[in-house]
C-alpha cells in the first residue's frame, strides 16, 4: 500500500517542507491535510471498476425470468466484462503512486534530509497498464530520478535541479490524471444509472397471472423501487462531486509544480512561499469537497 499513497499528500508535504523554516504550524496543517487526502483517492480510482461490476450485475439480473432460490452472479463474466475498467483503476492509482514517490523524495531533499524511496516503485511502475508512449516516458523518468536522488546522494542545494528535470514528467502525468479520471468515470456512472433504471422499470411492470380469469397480481412495489433508485442517484452524484474535486486537484498539482520550477532558484523567497501556501490552500478546499462527497449527507458542489 506504500506505493499507492497519494501524490496530493506528497505535494502538500513538500509545501510544508519549503515553509517549515517560516512557521512550524504550517507543517502540522499540511500533515493533517495529507493524512486526510491519503485515504481519498483509492476510493475515487475504484469507481470505474465498481461501476462496471454494478452494470454487469444489473444485466444478469435483468435476464432472470424465474425465482428458484439458486441464483448467483456469474463472476467469470463480471471479471471479463470489467477487465478494462480494472485496468483503468490500476492505471490511475499506480500513476498517482509514482508522482507521490517523487514528491515525497523531493520533500526530504528540499528540507535538507537524505531522500529515501520504496525500491519496489520501479517494478510497480513498469506494470502500469494502458499508458501511451509519452506517459511511459514520464513514469520512467520520474522513477529514475527518484533513484538518482538517493543513489547519487543529492543534497538540498540540488533540489532546483531535480525540480526542473521532473517538470515535464509531472506535467504529463498530472494532465493525464485530470483528463482521464472524469472522462472514464462519468460515462460509466451514467451507464450504471441507465442500466439500473432499465432493470427497475422492468421490475415495476412485472406481473404474476395465477388465475387467467383475474387481473394480474403486482408483486413489485414501485414505491420501494423508486426510493431505491433515488438513493442510488444521490450516491452517483456524490461520486461525480468527488471526481470534479479531484479534477481540480490535478490542475493545482500541475500549477503548483510549475510554480516550483519557475521559482526553483529562490525556493525560500517570501513570494514563493506565499504562492505555495495559496496552492496548498486551494488543494485543501478540494480535499474537503471530496470528503464531503463521500458523506451520506453530502451534496454540495466542489468549489472551483
Q: What's the pLDDT at 77?
A: 94
Cβ neighbour number for residue 277 with a 10 Å cutoff: 18
Does residue 240 contact residue 187 with C-beta atoms inside 8 Å?
no
Name the DSSP letter for residue 6.
Answer: -
The cell for 274 is: 506565499
Give the residue ranges of the chain where pLDDT is below 70. Answer: 1-39, 66-68, 110-111, 184, 202-225, 267-277, 296-304
Q: What's the pLDDT at 291?
A: 81
203/194 Cα distance (integer angstroms): 14
3-class SS string, 270-303 = HHHHHHHHHHHHHHHHHHHHHHHHCCCCCCCCCC
The cell for 176 is: 493525464
Does residue 101 contact residue 133 with C-beta atoms inside 8 Å?
no
Q: What's the pLDDT at 152?
A: 84
SS3 assignment, position 218 = strand
Does residue 53 contact residue 27 with C-beta atoms inside 8 Å?
no
- Domain definitions of the chain by residue range: 2-293
Task: Quote the crossing angle between the two packed helices 83-110 and 159-205, to the nearest 10°.
Answer: 150
The helix or strand, by DSSP H or E, that contains position 207, with its residue range, turns out to be: strand 207-208
- Name residue, grid cell 499506480: 94
Q: What's the pLDDT at 231?
A: 78
210/229 Cα distance (integer angstroms): 29
Does residue 154 contact residue 109 with C-beta atoms inside 8 Å?
yes
Q: What's the pLDDT at 181?
A: 81
Q: What's the pLDDT at 275?
A: 67
Would you say the pTM of this structure is higher than 0.85? no
Cα-flanking dihedrals φ and ψ of residue 300, to 5°?
A: -70, 140
* Nearest residue to 110 via CA among 7, 16, 34, 35: 16
pLDDT in tens, 250-287: 888 888 788 878 877 776 666 666 666 677 777 788 88
SS3 assignment, position 262 = helix
Amino acid at each position: 500500500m506504500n506505493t499507492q499513497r497519494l501524490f496530493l499528500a506528497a505535494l502538500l508535504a513538500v509545501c510544508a517542507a519549503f515553509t517549515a523554516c517560516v512557521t512550524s504550524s504550517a507543517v502540522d496543517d499540511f500533515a493533517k491535510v495529507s493524512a486526510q487526502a491519503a485515504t481519498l483517492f483509492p476510493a475515487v480510482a475504484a469507481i470505474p471498476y465498481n461501476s462496471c461490476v454494478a452494470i454487469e450485475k444489473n444485466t444478469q439480473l435483468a435476464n432472470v425470468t424465474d425465482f428458484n432460490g439458486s441464483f448467483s452472479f456469474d463472476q467469470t463474466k463480471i471479471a471479463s466484462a470489467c477487465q478494462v475498467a480494472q485496468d483503468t483503476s490500476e492505471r490511475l492509482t499506480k500513476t498517482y503512486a509514482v508522482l507521490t514517490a517523487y514528491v515525497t523524495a523531493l520533500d526530504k531533499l528540499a528540507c535538507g534530509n537524505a531522500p529515501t524511496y520504496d525500491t519496489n516503485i520501479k517494478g510497480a511502475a513498469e506494470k502500469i497498464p494502458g499508458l501511451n508512449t509519452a506517459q511511459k516516458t514520464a513514469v520512467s523518468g520520474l522513477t529514475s530520478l527518484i533513484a538518482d536522488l538517493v543513489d547519487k546522494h543529492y543534497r538540498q542545494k540540488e533540489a532546483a535541479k531535480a525540480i526542473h528535470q521532473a517538470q515535464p514528467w509531472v506535467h504529463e502525468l498530472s494532465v493525464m490524471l485530470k483528463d482521464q479520471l472524469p472522462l472514464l468515470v462519468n460515462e460509466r456512472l451514467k451507464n450504471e444509472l441507465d442500466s439500473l433504471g432499465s432493470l427497475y422499470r422492468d421490475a415495476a411492470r412485472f406481473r404474476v397471472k395465477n388465475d387467467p380469469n383475474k387481473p394480474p397480481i403486482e408483486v413489485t412495489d414501485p414505491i420501494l423501487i423508486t426510493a431505491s433508485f433515488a438513493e442510488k442517484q444521490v450516491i452517483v452524484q456524490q461520486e461525480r462531486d468527488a471526481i470534479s474535486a479531484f479534477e481540480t486537484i490535478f490542475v493545482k498539482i500541475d500549477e503548483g509544480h510549475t510554480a516550483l520550477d519557475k521559482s526553483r532558484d529562490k525556493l525560500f523567497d517570501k513570494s514563493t512561499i506565499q504562492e505555495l501556501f495559496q496552492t496548498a490552500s486551494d488543494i485543501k478546499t478540494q480535499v474537503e469537497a471530496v470528503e464531503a462527497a463521500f458523506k451520506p449527507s453530502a451534496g454540495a458542489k466542489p468549489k472551483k
